[in-house]
Amino acid sequence: MKRTVSILVALVLVLSVGVGMVAQTAPKIGVCIYKFDDTFMSYVRNTIETAAKGKAILSVQDSMYDQPRQNDQVDQFLVEGMKSLAINMVDPSAVSVLIGKAAKKKVPLVLFNREPAAADMAKYAMAYYVGAKAQESGTMEGEIVADYWKKNPSADLNKDGVLQYVMLIGDPSNTDAKYRTEFSIKAVTAAGIKVQKLAEDTAMWDRPKAQEKMAAWLTAYAGKIEVVFANNDDMALGAIEALKAAGYFKDGKYMPVVGVDATPPALDALEQGYLLGTVLNDAKRQGLATFELAYSLALGKPASTTVAPLANADGKPDPKGKYVWVPYVKVTKDNYKAFK
Amino acid sequence: MNEHSLAVEMRGISKSFPGVKALDDVSIQVRPGTVHALMGENGAGKSTLMKCLFGIYRPDQGSIEVSGKPRSFQGARQALDAGISMIHQELHPVPFRSVMENIWLGRYPTVNLGLFKLVDNRRMLRDTRALFADLAIDIDPRAWVQTLSVSKIQSMEIARAVSYDARVIIMDEPTSSLTELEVEHLFGIIRKLRSEGRAIIYISHKMEEILEIADEVTIMRDGRRVGTYPSGELTTDLIINRMVGRDLTHRFPPRENVPGEIVLSVEGLTSANSRSFRDVSFELRKGEILGLGGLVGAQRTELVESIFGLRMVKSGRIRVKGEEVRIRDSIQAKRRGFALLTEERRSTGIFPVLSVRDNTLIANIRRYVNRIGLLDRRRGNEDVQRSVELLRIKTPGNDTKIESLSGGNQQKVIFARWLLTDPDILILDEPTRGIDVGAKYEIYSIIADLAKRGKSIILISSEMPELLGMSDRVLVMCEGRATGVLDGKGATQERVMELATQFMT
Amino acid sequence: MSTLARAEGPRRSIAELASKNAIVLVLLGLVLVIGAARPSFLNPENLVNILRISSVRAIIALGVGGILIMRGTDLSAGRTVGFAAVVAASLAQRDDYASKLFKDLPMLPLLVPVLAALGVGLLVGLLNGSVVAFLKVPPFIATLGMMVIVYGAVSLYVDRPPMGAQPLGGLREDFTNIGTGDTLTIPNLILIAALVTLVTYVILNRTRLGKNVYAIGGNPEAAVVSGVSVWRNTLLVYAFGGLLYGLAGALLAARTGGATNNYGQMYELDAIAACVIGGVSTSGGIGTVGGMITGVLIFEVLNNGLVVLGVSAYWQQIVKGIIIVAAVAIDIQKYVRKR
């Protein structure tokens, strides 16, 4: 009994240290991140936390890639009387349950980064979404490649007029991964270039795995691969390491590799001439938009953000819309310095 | 006597375990250059006393002096360093390692390479060969222990204990798996050690061995010392008398069972394991107690476990009440009216942290499922209570964890468990091992009563008096073969031993 | 006994040799089957590449292997590799790299990041060993807890302002050279792994620690009554394992030229699986260095071979799972005795 009490006291103390900093009048906002070890989401989270300083009391939870855990966290937020919620869902298709919970307590809900179905969004007037059009990231990746292909005829190694490529997929069950895979190739074909897929495989967004897959492909398709697409930069960098080991990037041997995210190591690789290009999913502006939206709603004001106008699900501006679309940015050798 | 001439002196040692007081104010004195035997029934506290000396257990009370110096060992390492080595009753080989690595475990010879020390395999081999040559033991030092027979492993353990060059060597049942010839060999080694001035503490159940090799005998009973005697003053009867504490005639309850028709007949049963039993035949009658005698390694446990469906059989026939049966697992065995009380009560009998109630009902739990699929607590409780009263199980309550009961009462709970399945044939594998003498009598009474009520019983026992005192007939096995059946009057200790060692060289 | 075994020796030898080396045969079989289907698999570059990738995995497996033999387990191995990789990477970033984790960190001697990684591994190993040896927490639970703790620690380490959690890149050439370069035409990674294999072999077979590990794993009671210090050996084995994870982490960072806080995730399961495939018994006392290495090679040949064959990602998983169970089923037959 005594021990239980002392453990409880200790817990309360620890928890109160984390909370008691901000003035009591600031609204409380609950934030869930689908998992903390996702690099991109860490940027978003950091922006949200920075933006909230002095304005709101945040409770930021790690959902550890576990939707049931996130549901429990949201329940806890509602019990604690959060004024608004900013939720980065683990599984966007399970959103109706969360929307139901928030609607019941009339707490505004800002979903971000992982897009739920429009039909679910329609169920609750105070449900908003902040994110980027995942298709757009794939499209931009494809445009970078198409641009390069047209400017460098020597990129067509076997001179057959067809672009032979390999694709490193993040996680096949992830919609971003699907869109990037699909729309990057669509953009290339839209530019009038014929393509042939040599291989595609999943490397789970992971750099060592991508390195291993790429090394195997270099064996299986020696000299045939003309372009490497990767769903994110970590995998692109893994592929680059495998290419380096196979003798690329010296003595004029080059391989165009593209990724998404514009992480610092990717920008570095751009600078050094390894990476052809990447696409910035603007974490800072996404985090800022998420916070501004959740903050205005928590104060009971109309939804507003300085990042981009409110829009509808298709991307058309609409003052009554429930979507904020944060644009992607192409990053290549020409403009990378602006993002460092 | 000058105290400092003693090799070991233990004074007023007491040690308790949950539910049982294992040692109660025990003192012994062992002189160098002698063989000091420790005798007593199972559970008398001999092994516990020696584990206290060897630092495996810490006594609750009492003091220990070795060669005149007060000692309180915190573990085997310290005891070994102080010049005490021990052959353990339970053999302790490391199976997938070589013989020599087992011998030198904990003190491998090394060569120093400055920063590192490497184990000197060549020296280890040489030393092991020399040791085995010295003791005239014929084992390849490089063989894997897993491939050795039990008696070879025991020889290895003996060599190991000797190799420590200890002043005091404890031998806890060192001959349990040895043939007569090997025992003689061991005695030769012991005499040599004795002549070198070492003290041997020798634990054994075998009277003849004790009378042959021991200089002094300390007899223990129920965790206490009965007395210490020069072996010249002792006879088998005297030892038994003092070990048991009452006359042999009253050790067993009167039996009023009358064997009837044959309920089980086994013909030419042969194990699937070629090293186990073969071609065993016997019959068991209704209301009969059939003893199963033999030495360790006679494959008695393997035989009954095969009948019970726990082990694979290659050939042979089993008939229950005239009907040929094929039993593949314990569920079918139960259905055929068999019950098995296993030898290792701790590891295969009780569920230590479960209650007396659950331990009683577990084999029969289906019977207490009610219409909606839940357990009918009331009906279960009634049966448990009836069993507790019938078998006079001493327990604070039926919800008590069984591990806090004494060994005898644990065994009674297991009896209760199997009796609830209403078996026709009970197989009892060493049912009184590790049980206090008083409780043994109660177990015997239960067995006698069951037989009287028409249950058939197979009783495996390594205790000769128990085997002879409780059985209507005794089937003796040796190295996996049945060597003879003795009926009540013809069964003497000598006849059983003769049959039990028939194939041994 | 011995004479008997010798007399039967020659007759049994071929079958016995096959059964004892079933795992090596499985490996050769896999290589041949994949090579027949896709000859480019047998290219020297590809085989060297498999060895290079296997190197890091082998070092982890050797660390876990000793622990498994002693009846322990280590679920924190993967995360510790990740922690060590991150620490090594953070201390080996180029001066001119814009997003350095430690902005003002001067160029350190090359040895520093490597030693730091070893230190991290050693620390985690010692903690694991202490919890198991002194607090008597079952290894599964102790290292499960440590796995979670280490992940928290690495995330804390990498998630610092102004950049926040980020992949660590921009590693120095001389550092990445450890993982990507050659010495005398042999990849450094393979040389290092070979050295570690040799050292582990000597420790397990020729030192007291090794023999004690086998004894404790084979029969803890026997070790206790023979005066073997169980806590001391437990501590040492976990510490040695930790040291190897630390090394593996540094090499992984060097090989991939970067690190993130989810490096090493689930590597412990791959390592345990590789050990078990290689004949290490999870109930202790059995296992050889050769077996562990063979297990790792089987794993990586599969990983690489299935990609080269163009097997879809989902089928790769299914095939790998089947091979794990099948390999162990084949291997365990030599220990299964009829009751």
Kindly state whether residues B23 and B43 are assigned to the same domain: yes
pLDDT for residue C243: 97
Q: Is residue B125 in some structural domain?
A: no
Topology of domain A23-132+282-327, CATH: Rossmann fold (3.40.50)
Rg of chain B on CA atoms, in Å: 24
State which of B245, B266, B300 marks the end of a domain: B245
Q: Is residue B382 in some structural domain?
A: yes
The mean pLDDT of C75-92, rounded to a whole number, is 94
Q: Is residue B436 in some structural domain?
A: yes
AA letter at B392: R
pLDDT over threshold 90, residue C221: no
CA C218 vs CA C14, C19, C223: distances in Å? 28, 21, 9
pLDDT over threshold 80, residue C9: no
Residue closest to C53 by CA, chosen among C193, C185, C245, C242: C193
pLDDT band at B415 (very low <50, low <70, confident <90, very high): confident
Is A207 close to C167, i.e. CB distance below 8 A?
yes
Contacts of B3 (CB under 8 A, 6+ apart): B9, B65, B68
Kindly state whether residues B237 and B356 are assigned to the same domain: no
AA letter at B308: F
Q: What percent of chain C has pLDDT over 90?
A: 46
Is C207 close to B90, i.e. CB distance below 8 A?
no
> What single-letter DSSP state applies at residue A116?
P
pLDDT over threshold 50, residue B362: yes
Kindly state whether residues B312 and B185 are assigned to the same domain: no
Q: What tens digit of pLDDT does each residue of B195-224 get?
A: 999 999 999 877 788 888 999 999 988 788
* Cα–Cα distance for residue pair B155/B472, rounded to 1 Å: 36
Kindly state whether residues B334 and B440 are assigned to the same domain: yes
State which of B245, B273, B301 marks the end of a domain: B245
Kindly state whether residues B155 and B211 are assigned to the same domain: yes
Kindly state whether residues B35 and B161 are assigned to the same domain: yes
Q: Which of C224, C285, C339 is facing B311, going by the closest CB pair? A: C339
Kindly state whether residues B73 and B161 are assigned to the same domain: yes
pLDDT over threshold 90, residue B20: no
Number of independent structural domains in chain B? 2
pLDDT for residue B437: 64
**Residue holding tokens 């050094």?**
A272
Q: Which of C167, C256, C261 is facing A263, going by the closest CB pair? A: C167
Kindly state whether residues B233 and B259 are assigned to the same domain: no
Domain segments of chain A as ranges: 23-132+282-327, 135-281
CB of C303 within 8 Å of any CB in chain A?
A: yes
Output the CA torsion A143→A147→A150→A151 (10° steps): -170
Q: Is residue B419 in some structural domain?
A: yes
* Cα–Cα distance for residue pair B139/B99, rounded to 1 Å: 8
Residue closest to B88 by CA, chosen among C220, C226, C211, C284: C226
> Which of A115-129, A247-261, B128-142, C310-324 has the weakest average pLDDT?
C310-324
Rg of chain C on CA atoms, in Å: 21
**C317 to chain A: nearest residue by CA?**
A202
Parent domain of B211 = 3-93+148-245
Q: Is residue B359 in some structural domain?
A: yes
pLDDT over threshold 90, residue A215: yes
Contacts of C210 in chain B (CB under 8 A): 119
Kindly state whether residues B284 and B363 are assigned to the same domain: yes
* Helix, strand, coil percent content, chain A, rounded in steps of 5: 45, 20, 35
Is C295:C24 a contact under the CB 8 Å cutoff? no
pLDDT over threshold 60, residue A21: no
Q: Is residue B127 in some structural domain?
A: no
Q: Is residue B130 in some structural domain?
A: no
3-class SS of residue A251: coil
pLDDT for residue C2: 38
pLDDT for residue A149: 95
C267 vs B500, more confident: C267
pLDDT band at A281 (very low <50, low <70, confident <90, very high): confident
The mean pLDDT of C329-333, rounded to a whole number, is 72
- Does the bond joining B32 to the residue before it have cis omega, within 30 degrees of 0? no
pLDDT band at B425 (very low <50, low <70, confident <90, very high): very high
pLDDT for residue A43: 85
The mean pLDDT of A1-18, rounded to a whole number, is 57
pLDDT for residue A8: 60
The mean pLDDT of A28-49, rounded to a whole number, is 88
pLDDT for residue B342: 84
The mean pLDDT of A244-254, rounded to a whole number, is 90
Kindly state whether residues B199 and B339 are assigned to the same domain: no
Q: Which of C38, C258, C304 is facing A207, going by the closest CB pair? A: C258
Is A95:A70 a contact under the CB 8 Å cutoff? no
Question: A56-59: long-range contacts at Cβ-Cβ below 8 A with a sequence spacing of 24 or more?
Answer: A56/A22, A56/A26, A56/A27, A56/A28, A56/A29, A56/A291, A56/A295, A56/A298, A57/A19, A57/A22, A57/A26, A57/A27, A57/A28, A57/A29, A58/A28, A58/A29, A58/A30, A58/A31, A59/A19, A59/A28, A59/A29, A59/A30, A59/A31
Q: The CATH number of the domain where B295 resides is what?
A: 3.40.50.300
Q: Which of C52, C164, C256 is facing A46, going by the closest CB pair? A: C164
* Cα–Cα distance for residue pair B299/B294, rounded to 1 Å: 8
- Highest mean pLDDT: which range of B268-277, C207-216, C327-336: C207-216
* Cα–Cα distance for residue pair B388/B423, rounded to 1 Å: 18
Q: Can you tell me the ipTM of this complex? A: 0.78
Kindly state whether residues B364 and B256 are assigned to the same domain: yes
Question: B88-92: long-range contacts at Cβ-Cβ below 8 A with a sequence spacing of 24 or more?
Answer: B88/B157, B88/B172, B88/C225, B89/B47, B89/B172, B89/B173, B89/B176, B89/B203, B90/C221, B91/B150, B91/B153, B91/B154, B91/B157, B92/B157, B92/C219, B92/C221, B92/C222, B92/C225, B92/C226
Residue closest to B276 by CA, chosen among B258, B294, B250: B294
| Residue B272, both tokens | 């699937």
Give B284's strand partners: B264
3-class SS of residue A228: strand
* Cα–Cα distance for residue pair A231/A138, rounded to 1 Å: 8
Q: Which helix (H) or strand (E) holds C114?
A: helix C111-133
Q: Which of B93, B272, B311 is facing C219, going by the closest CB pair? A: B93
AA letter at A125: A
Is A166:A217 a contact under the CB 8 Å cutoff? yes
CA C111 vs CA B103, C90, C175, C252: distances in Å? 43, 13, 9, 16
Task: Evaluate whether the domain defined by A135-281 bears CATH number 3.40.50.2300.
Answer: yes
pLDDT for residue C334: 64
Q: Which of C41, C48, C190, C262 to mutate to test the interface with A (most CBs of A within 10 A)?
A: C262
Q: Is residue B106 in some structural domain?
A: no
Q: What percent of chain C has pLDDT over 70?
A: 90
Give C31's strand partners: none
Is C258 close to A265, i.e. CB distance below 8 A?
yes
State which of B245, B262, B290 marks the end of a domain: B245
pLDDT over threshold 50, residue A113: yes
pLDDT over threshold 50, residue C336: yes
> Which of A128-137, C103-112, C197-206, C247-256 has the weakest average pLDDT?
C103-112
Kindly state whether residues B240 and B261 are assigned to the same domain: no
3-class SS of residue B264: strand
pLDDT over threshold 60, residue C3: no
Mean residue pLDDT across chain C: 86
> Which of B38-47, B136-145, B425-434 has the weakest average pLDDT?
B38-47
pLDDT for residue B45: 84
B442 vs A183, more confident: A183
**A239 to chain C: nearest residue by CA?**
C256
Contacts of C219 in chain B (CB under 8 A): 92-95
Q: Which of C34, C49, C306, C314 to mutate to test the interface with A (most CBs of A within 10 A)?
A: C49
Rg of chain A on CA atoms, in Å: 22
| Residue A229, both tokens | 């697409």
Mean residue pLDDT across chain B: 85
| Residue B190, both tokens | 């012991």
B392 vs C27, more confident: C27
Q: What tens digit of pLDDT does each residue of C148-191 get?
A: 999 999 988 987 766 666 788 888 888 988 888 888 888 999 99
- Highest mean pLDDT: which range of B63-77, B344-358, B382-396, C112-126: C112-126
| Residue B470, both tokens | 């409780």
Give A58's strand partners: A29
Among chain C, residues having any CB pair with chain B shorter than 8 Å are 1-2, 5, 202, 206-208, 210-212, 214-215, 218-219, 221-229, 285-286, 337-339
Is B95 close to C1, i.e. CB distance below 8 A?
no
